[in-house]
Amino acid sequence: MKDKMNEKQMYTHPLKSVEMYSPKLQCWEVLPNSAMNVPRQFLNVVRLGNKLYALGGFSTEESERASFALKTCEVFDGHTWTYIAPMNFGRAKACKDHSLMLES
């Protein structure tokens, strides 16, 4: 039980880092030079073609320490995260309830 509690406490803030799982090595690794523009948690990530899309999520305002849902979206081309058009409303966990769709 103690391990689960410590695990939850460790990941309670938004992150800019991107990690990739290697089934071959059975471990996660932080991708070098892949930090997103906005720290996020509970975001949605979608792969479309050879690109990753980071959509919404929660972030915090450093001055207020308040959490809010993001409208911002970013696309990763394998080298750089670039902002794309924001969503109309801030969303977190949007794909869970099927309220988000991407067109190719």
* Residue 33 lies inside a defined structural domain of this protein: yes
* Residue 83 lies inside a defined structural domain of this protein: yes
* Residue 11 lies inside a defined structural domain of this protein: yes
Q: What is the pLDDT of residue 1?
A: 46
* Residue 62 lies inside a defined structural domain of this protein: yes
Q: What is the DSSP string of 17-77?
A: --EEEETTTTEEEEPTT---SS-BBS-EEEEETTEEEEE--EEEETTTTEEEE---EEEE-
Evaluate if pTM is beyond 0.75.
no
* Residue 70 lies inside a defined structural domain of this protein: yes
What pLDDT tens digit does each residue of the chain (104 aa) get? Answer: 444 545 554 456 788 988 889 999 999 998 888 899 989 888 988 889 999 999 999 887 655 455 678 999 999 998 899 999 999 988 887 655 555 555 55
Count up the domains in the chain and report the number: 1
Residue 94: is it exposed, middle or buried by C-beta count within 10 angstroms (0-12/13-18/19+)? buried
* Residue 56 lies inside a defined structural domain of this protein: yes
* Residue 80 lies inside a defined structural domain of this protein: yes
Full residue range of the structural domain in which residue 62 is found = 2-96
* Residue 103 lies inside a defined structural domain of this protein: no
